[in-house]
Amino acid sequence: MGKTALVFSGQGAQYPGMGKELYECSAAAKAVFDMAEAVRPGTIRQCFEGTKEELSVTINTQPCVFITDLAAAAAVAEKGIRIDFAAGFSLGEIAAIAFSGMLSYEEAFRLVCKRAELMDKAAKNHPGAMAAVMKITPSQTEEICRSFTMAYPVNYNSPAQTVVAASGDEIDALCAKVKEIKGKAVKLAVSGAFHSPFMDEASDGMREYLAGIALDEPKLPVFANCTAEPYAGDYKELIALQINHPVRWQKTVENMIENGADRFIEVGVGKTLTGLIKKINADVSAVNIENKEGLDALC
């Protein structure tokens, strides 16, 4: 019998009204949102009624996406679905470790609020840009990045999609170089160059913040972005390194499949991960849960 992996969406797919249906149809999801509201008043309004512009600000995006992810996971668990593995894309990894029991939901939410603050500050102190590179291999993308002073592959999403981070001065030239070899490059509407050395100070800040926090053993394997392997060794260091190191998403999915996962449930905002999983391996099942319709269809 195959195994089920729960995967948590990351920053970028946010939209006004996210999570509202889950709040209204699931007691477990409502409890998660209410917890966040008590810690950070205004979170529910931002999720349900905030504008696209408001939700695109990092210090708002991360808490709102995180809590929608976690609420969707709580709604799935409420249905009695057995989960064997967990992983999250970037921000989603913090939701995954919370779901696994490494941190309480409240502690994880506070951590995410701090993470957003640190990353927002780093983005302002060290401006950069990001672009999705498609139709060429990760190796080709790496080679192009090496020809620039400050350009880095940061999200290994699928065999044909790698996201890069670069300085604002170099991003346009990098995109042009991608097009020269028949690839496609699309600049992303993000506020910083995440998962790269541009985020070093945010990573250091997270390391300091984590020094005062106790982490429990996970109740199920959580695959880390940095290693694409289940959390092992220094858990706090993995959380800190995740901020300024690449997200190895393709390898993460492949490793979960090698460990028996043949069913993936994406929880939270949008269906970006569902699409990537299908591109990585078309033989596995992948669905997304972000509203009542998706939850009702889950069995």
Helix pair 105-125, 58-78: axis angle to 10 deg: 150
Following CA atoms 205, 211, 215, 217 in sequence, which dihedral angle do they give, to the nearest 10 degrees?
A: 100
Q: Quick one: 85 exposed, middle or buried, by C-beta within 10 A (0-12, 13-18, 19+)?
A: buried
| CA neighbor of 59 nearest in space, from 141, 118, 122, 132 | 118
Q: Is 26 a catalytic residue?
A: no
From the candidates 90, 158, 196, 203, give the one annotated as an active-site residue: 90
Chain mean position to CA 238: 14
| Cβ within 8 Å of residue 108, ≥6 positions away | 66, 70, 94, 95, 97, 98
From the candidates 100, 158, 191, 195, give the one annotated as an active-site residue: 195
Q: What CA–CA distance (Å, rounded) separates 281 from 250?
A: 10
Helix (H) or strand (E) holding 118: helix 105-125
| Cβ within 8 Å of residue 41, ≥6 positions away | none
Q: Is 195 a catalytic residue?
A: yes
C-beta atoms surrounding 21 within 10 Å: 18
254, amino acid identity: E
* DSSP letter for each residue of 76-99: HHHTT----EEEESTHHHHHHHHH
Q: What CA–CA distance (Å, rounded) separates 213 from 267?
A: 26
Q: Quick one: 49 exposed, middle or buried, by C-beta within 10 A (0-12, 13-18, 19+)?
A: exposed
Active site residues: 90, 195
